[in-house]
Chain A
Amino acid sequence: MDETVNNPSMKKSFGKSLLYALPMFLITFVFITGGKPDFSDPAGTLAILATFLGMNILYFLMHYTGKTDKFRAIIFIVFALSLSFTLIRNMLEIRHSMSFSQADIVECKIPFCHLVIPMMILPAAFTKSIIFPGTILGGFANISSMAVLWLVATLVLGRGFCSWGCFYGGWDDGFSRLRKKPVIKKISDYWRWMPFAVLLMVAITAALSLTPTYCSWICPFKAVTEFEQVTGMESAAKAGVFISLFLGLVVILPVLTRKRTQCSFLCPLGAMNSLSNKITPFTVKIDKKACNECFKCVDVCPLFALTPEDVKNGKVSIFCSKCGKCVDACSRKAIHYGIKGIPAGSMKKFSRNIFLFVSFLFIAVFSSGAIITVIKSIFNLFI
């Protein structure tokens, strides 16, 4: 089959790519600068410009090269690193420590993150209250803003949030790219259901104890953000769990498997977002007519979202985070971004253009604050 006839490349000419990048250029400029650029601080101005230009170059390259994943991964990984840096810096400035104290809990000053959301639902329904010691409105990472951001992103992107919005996912995404070939190749697909078990467990334990149990006992990202001050055996055990899970699931296993193992096997929010893949209009489709069942897409999928059976059936599973790795790997362009309702193999470019615009705009604006803070800190060292 002549793939260039039936399966057009997603590449665009330089001029056309510029044209497609122009709306993103203008919108991100307005959103990142707030519409009122302030040039009084040289380091801040340079940081904003660098962030803005860097992001728009990545978006332009997505159109120009027709590839998605490698450019998405750059911003996604930088976002994860920047967020941890920003959070740690913020905590060091406010608390002079990476750990939070009992006073921070008593005063409800803990920054909120989206991983708490699965634990909030049952208590919110039964007790009409939030079981997190943060602020509802105002302050750093308040509950209302984070809930709105997650809600809209999940509605729009489904599990795409896990590859285009989550400020933790970049950690294991980054480590999963360090080796060219995996050391551990065979991992049972059954493990991909594990996050549902974790979701069930933390939802029940959080509801019964009225405390966010995943944050208190499991979350591996406590190791790179904030954790409870070690004051006794219990807090030491917690710190041990956080560090072990971070090293195991975010560093070592991703390096050995080239998979995002924390996202695939542990994250309860990932499980919840998988269900939201049923609502979002954007999806990844398999054109069975064009597919030659080489299963390259199965091999490269970092989230175990594709099995040979899925490919044979022409359906991507609910675990798909729309990262674009399979889309980029398919030489026949049989697997592609799509919109629900549009048959597989049709309107590929249109679907990709809309999906890229929506998902990139979200990550670009959402990540810009943290990235600007980091770049500004780097510039401040020299200016």
Chain B
Amino acid sequence: MKKIKIAAGIFWAILCLLLILVLFPGLNNFSSGISRFPFMKINPNLTGGEAAEQIVMKSCTLVVRKPVFDGLIGERKQGFVQIDWRGNLPEIISDTIDYDLDKKPDFVIRIGRSESSTVLKPLNPKVRKVGISTPTSYGWSARIKIEK
């Protein structure tokens, strides 16, 4: 039994040695492999959710994303909807948004880019307040807090 334990210990140690030897040369392959696991995607609370609608305007594109209510188990009562403006943006952005795609406007958002001001006018009682409103590498993004 003692000899079996010693042999098993040495075998495990040598296996670990081999694992370290292949780790760095194979890192890209291992990383690609692990990235295919079903849980290897960023949570919508951080990405802002999938795009629901794209509206191409004169100089920019408005992207309305699907509302995010994701919680640990099921959905939360409070969430947000992310709006992206991509391209050459005007100095003042002013848009009326229908985030639930029911053909009725839900809120009006007005962003002054130079002074970084965001004014929200809710037209739907589910719309609460501005969460994030920030310039991005592609233009501007705003997250509006909403209720279910």
Contacts and interface: CB of A to CB of B under 8 A. Distances in A.
A358 B45 contact: no
Interface in A87-113: 101-103, 105-108
B48 A106 contact: yes
Interface string B3-22: 00111111011101101110
A105 B80 CA distance: 15
B39 A102 contact: no
B136 interface: yes
A15 to B, nearest CB: 23
Given A106-B136, A106-B143, A281-B13, 5 more contacts: A101-B134, A130-B41, A137-B32, A156-B19, A357-B17
Contacts of B6: 341-343
B57 interface: no
Interface string A342-361: 11000000010011011001
A144 B8 CA distance: 31
B34 A31 contact: no
B14 A136 contact: no
**Majority-rule SS of A interface residues:** helix
A73 to B, nearest CB: 21
A9 to B, nearest CB: 22
A131 B13 CA distance: 34
Interface in A109-163: 122-134, 136-137, 142-145, 147-149, 152, 155-156
Given A31-B24, A149-B23, A340-B9, A130 B39 contact: yes
Contacts, number: 144
A208 interface: yes
Contact of A282 (B2, B16, B47): B16
Nearest to B136: A103
B71 interface: yes
Nearest to B137: A107
B38 interface: yes
A108 B41 CA distance: 11
A43 B2 CA distance: 54
> Which size bracket describes the interface of B in this complex?
35 or more
A365 interface: yes
Contacts of B14: 354
Contacts of A149: 23, 27
A211 interface: yes
A339 interface: yes
Given A144-B34, A341-B5, A281 B16 contact: yes
Given A136-B40, A211-B45, A341 B31 contact: no
A335 interface: no
B17 A358 contact: yes
Contact of A361 (B9, B20, B31): B20
A47 interface: no
B68 to A, nearest CB: 10
B70 interface: yes
B12 A340 contact: yes
A129 B42 CA distance: 5
Given A103-B141, A137-B35, A342-B6, A358 B16 contact: yes
